[in-house]
Structure 1
């Protein structure tokens, strides 16, 4: 007969390690209710309870963008036909983009000159 204590200790250690890795690799905006450091401290201090609370309350789960599909693969093909087409790519060359940026910079400079002359009391030319 296997003693339950080593199995429970190993299970607790495993859950704690997984929770620590998950908590450490999460971004700050994916951690709820407490700061990330507090969750890590809580998981180390109370391994089983802290790990369970981390997975239940502390981390933010991402919503699935598409539901899981099961069953006939032909249904997957039907779903693939209804996906929206990709956004059109911009076909301007780098030179055209640079020319547009330079034009915008010249326009911004002219607007700044007009503002400065109006502030000085002179009329723009």
Structure 2
């Protein structure tokens, strides 16, 4: 018998917390204070009725699942293929890299000379 009383008390406390913390637009059929009074007055029946009739359940727009959620999107557009890169030969890419290295060396020389001029003056 004590197990049934503890179970009833636990269900009543959970129902009270849920009813009190709900927004008014999430409560159906009766005002929130009437539901709270009903849950306290008749703990087991009031709690069961609260969870079945009085509470507004949220409708999920997407199904719950494990894994990548993109596979469950019904209206998902296929990703466009990447834009084709302009075809450059290896020699052209190496020449570009050499130009970048040369420019970096020139910039470093300019920085060193400015630093020397600044410390000499």
Match of 2:71 among 68, 78, 85: 78
1:120 maps to which residue? none
| Structure 1: stretches of 5+ with no match in the other structure | 84-125
**2 CA distance for matches of 1:59 and 1:77?**
31
**2 CA distance for matches of 1:56 and 1:63?**
15
Match of 1:17 among 13, 18, 23: 13
Q: How far did residue 77 of structure 1 move? A: 4.7
| Structure 2: stretches of 5+ with no match in the other structure | 78-121
Corresponding position: 1:43 with 2:39? yes
Q: Secondary structure of the equivalent of 1:64?
A: coil
TM-score, normalised via structure 1 length: 0.55
1:62 maps to which residue? 58
RMSD between superposed Cα atoms in Å: 2.0
**2 CA distance for matches of 1:79 and 1:50?**
38
Structure number, greater radius of gyration: 2
1:117 maps to which residue? none
CA contact (8 A) 2:63 2:72 kept: no
TM-score, normalised via structure 2 length: 0.57
Q: How far did residue 78 of structure 1 move? A: 3.1
